[in-house]
């Protein structure tokens, strides 16, 4: 959202073909998924990475694709797909899985969406310690993978709306954050929850020499955190969370702009006062703490009334609270 200023966004909003040299059109991303399907096909035939390296495909796919499946993914594979919760199973058309997996905001790796998935090769997601601290009865630490196996996982289809005016519809796997909060037993003074992402420049190339205030941090009010729509997501499309989507665990708050949905969480802290958030620190007028999806309040640099569906390219109307108003509007009605 920062570096692509006036470039990414003008392209998003007006489809103007002014692009920096590193910009790869989405057509390229779609071609890459053809490469991946070819790779899956070859590995089914017993032709592994070596054959592909010879074919020169490895350079295109990057380290992530060359790496073995992580132990965390292997251990949790039997948990997926989790049962779909019928309450969150509307008839919406799902976004193409391969398009979603190559169109990621994850600035710790890259500011270029279709490069993120290629730069996660060194990112270690197992073991993964999560610290639960602050205003709780008993602070504790738990391995993310242990947590994933402890919690009852379910599948939910949600709309996801980025502040940059693109959107997707995806099935997340996970559990309600409220269930983890109940485990943590916050004290009565706890009114906010703060989340923090890992801090490992050696594993995440976008963090190296960056001016951003990493590690990424976010926050919710306690009632927002306790809302049944708020998820700790552990997977997507019926599989363990790929690194580029925020493995091993991330937040999903579907009625707020995407940047609230912090990835790869290492710390959950309970606080009496409203914490600062990553994008708020960078530009408070553009990315305030609350950040509910609202088509009638334009971003200072573009409109929010419509959004572009990332796989079809369709431009559709943005809904208040991203379509979840019936469930969340009451949180914001001042009496």
Ligand X SMILES: Nc1nc2c(c(=O)[nH]1)N[C@H]1C(S)=C(S)[C@@H](COP(=O)(O)O)O[C@H]1N2
Cα–Cα–Cα angle for 128, 133, 136, rounded to 5 degrees: 135
Does residue 274 sit in helix, strand or coil? Answer: coil
Among 249, 262, 268, 328, binds ligand X (CB under 6 A): 262
Output the smallest distance, CB 104 to ligand X, in A. 3
Please report whether residue 134 would count as binding Mo ion according to CB under 5 A: no
Output 135 or 241, the one with its CB closest to ligand X. 241
Output the smallest distance, CB 139 to ligand X, in A. 22
Tally helices (H) and strands (E) across the chain: 11, 12
Phi then psi for residue 269, to 5 deg, are -125, 135
Number of chain positions touching ligand X (CB under 6 A): 16
Among 263, 292, 304, 311, binds ligand X (CB under 6 A): 263
**What is the C-alpha to C-alpha distance for residues 68 and 48, in angstroms, rounded to an integer?**
10
Output the smallest distance, CB 181 to ligand X, in A. 20
Among 101, 132, 135, 162, binds Mo ion (CB under 5 A): 162
Among 76, 98, 105, 291, binds ligand X (CB under 6 A): 105
Binding mask 234-273 for Mo ion (x = CB under 5 A): ------------------------xx--------------
**What is the C-alpha to C-alpha distance for residues 255 and 240, in angstroms, rounded to an integer?**
23
Cα–Cα–Cα angle for 104, 301, 217, rounded to 5 degrees: 45
Which range in 4-12, 142-150, 255-263, 294-302 contacts ligand X by CB under 6 A? Answer: 255-263
In the region spanning residues 181 to 240, those forming contacts with ligand X, defined by CB under 6 A, are: 197, 216
The answer to whether residues 184 and 266 touch, using CB atoms and an 8 Å cutoff, is: no
Which range in 58-66, 125-133, 253-261, 321-329 contacts ligand X by CB under 6 A? Answer: 253-261
Residue 267 interacts, among Mo ion, ligand X, none and using kind-specific CB cut-offs from 5 to 8 Å, with none
Exposure string over 215-252, b if 16+ CB within 10 A, otherwise e: bbbbbbeeebbbbebbbbbbbbbebbbbbbbbbbbbbb
Instruction: Name the H helices within 248-294.
Output: 278-282
């Amino acid at each position: 959202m920062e570096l692509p200023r006036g470039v990414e966004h003008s392209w998003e909003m007006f489809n103007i073909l002014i692009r920096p040299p590193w910009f790869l059109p989405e057509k390229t991303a779609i071609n890459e998924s053809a490469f991946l399907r070819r790779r899956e096909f070859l590995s089914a035939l017993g032709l592994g990475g070596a054959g592909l390296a010879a074919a020169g495909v490895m350079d295109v796919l990057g380290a992530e694709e060359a790496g073995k499946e992580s132990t965390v993914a292997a251990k949790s594979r039997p948990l997926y797909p989790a049962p779909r919760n019928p309450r969150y199973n509307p008839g919406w058309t799902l976004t193409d899985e391969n398009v979603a997996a190559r169109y990621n905001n994850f600035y710790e790796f890259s500011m270029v969406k279709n490069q993120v998935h290629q730069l996660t090769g060194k990112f270690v997601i197992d073991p993964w310690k999560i610290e639960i601290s602050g205003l709780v009865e008993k602070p504790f630490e738990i391995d993310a993978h242990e947590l994933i196996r402890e919690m009852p996982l379910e599948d939910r289809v949600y709309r996801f709306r980025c502040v940059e005016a693109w959107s997707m519809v995806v099935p997340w796997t996970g559990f309600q954050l409220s269930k983890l909060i109940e485990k943590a037993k916050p004290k009565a003074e706890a009114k906010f929850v703060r989340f923090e992402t890992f801090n490992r420049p050696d594993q995440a190339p976008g963090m190296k020499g960056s001016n951003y205030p990493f590690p990424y941090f976010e926050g919710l009010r306690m009632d927002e955190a306790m809302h049944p729509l708020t998820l700790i997501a552990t997977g997507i499309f019926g599989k363990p969370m790929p690194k580029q989507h925020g493995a091993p665990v991330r937040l999903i708050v579907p009625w707020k702009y995407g940047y609230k949905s912090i990835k790869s969480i290492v710390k959950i802290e309970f606080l009496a006062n409203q914490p600062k958030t990553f994008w708020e620190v960078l530009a408070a007028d553009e990315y305030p703490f609350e950040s509910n999806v609202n088509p009638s309040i334009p971003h200072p640099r573009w409109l929010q009334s419509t959004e572009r569906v990332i796989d079809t390219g369709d431009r559709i109307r943005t809904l208040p609270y991203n379509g979840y108003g019936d469930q969340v509007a009451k949180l914001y009605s001042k009496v």
